């Protein structure tokens, strides 16, 4: 198997916005739940105190798509994702769902323009429709947007 490219050490933008996808272990359907959605909203609302701003997200049964922005270099993306996964795992354990909950690692993409953000958001919001879970993206309840991120 080919080795995955390493993350960039330096990003030459002041406040980057990342598109992040992370999957459950063995792609088990664990995430499309009210308690998980509430945990993500709580995590996102606490983020600004640590320099992290959670934007739009969509919970699919076996993966999570989200956008996150950071204030400068106060926090690293990998640390933020690990902490998010831990917060969700705590909720899943409280509901009686045993670990492991997550695949190792995650996928990320640095957004480079407003056009890129819009393109990624259209993909994310329509994911439940493509999966046949709803007919219209607005009908998918497992989504949210603690902060309205804007590409600047």
DSSP labels for 60-117? -SSEEEEEEEESTTSS-HHHHHHHHHHHHHHHHHHTT-PSP-B-SS-EEEE--SHHHH
pLDDT of residue 21: 97
| CATH number for the domain formed by residue range(s) 17-144 | 3.30.70.1290
Q: How many CB atoms lie within 10 A of CB 37?
A: 19
Lowest-confidence segment of 6-15, 66-75, 93-102, 134-143 by average pLDDT? 6-15
pLDDT at 3: 55
As a whole number of angstroms, the distance between CA 140 and CA 150 comes to 23
Confidence of residue 10 (pLDDT cuts 50, 70, 90): very low
Domain positions in the chain are 17-144
For the full predicted model, state whether its pTM sits above 0.85. yes
The answer on pLDDT for 150 being more than 90 is no
Span 48-66, average pLDDT? 96
Residue 152 has what pLDDT?
A: 61
pLDDT band at 117 (very low <50, low <70, confident <90, very high): confident
Q: Please give the backbone phi and psi of residue 53, each rounded to the nearest 5 degrees, phi first.
A: -125, 110
pLDDT reading at 12 higher than 60: no
pLDDT tens for each residue of 122-142? 999 999 999 999 999 999 999
Q: What is each CA distance from 6 to 14, 47, 105, 136, in whole angstroms? A: 21, 25, 11, 36
């Amino acid at each position: 198997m080919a080795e995955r490219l390493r993350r960039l050490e330096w990003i030459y933008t002041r406040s980057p916005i990342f598109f992040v996808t992370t999957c459950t272990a063995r792609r088990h359907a664990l995430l499309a739940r009210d308690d998980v959605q509430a945990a993500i909203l709580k995590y996102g609302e606490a983020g600004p105190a640590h320099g992290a701003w959670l934007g739009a997200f969509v919970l699919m049964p076996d993966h999570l798509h989200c956008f996150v922005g950071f204030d400068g270099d106060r926090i690293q993306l990998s640390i933020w994702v690990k902490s998010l996964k831990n917060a969700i795992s705590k909720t899943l354990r409280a509901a009686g769902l045993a670990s492991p909950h997550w695949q190792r690692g995650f996928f990320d993409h640095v957004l480079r323009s407003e056009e890129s953000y819009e393109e990624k958001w259209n993909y994310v919001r329509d994911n439940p429709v493509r999966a046949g879970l709803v007919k219209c993206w607005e009908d998918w309840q497992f989504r949210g947007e603690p902060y309205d991120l804007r590409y600047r």
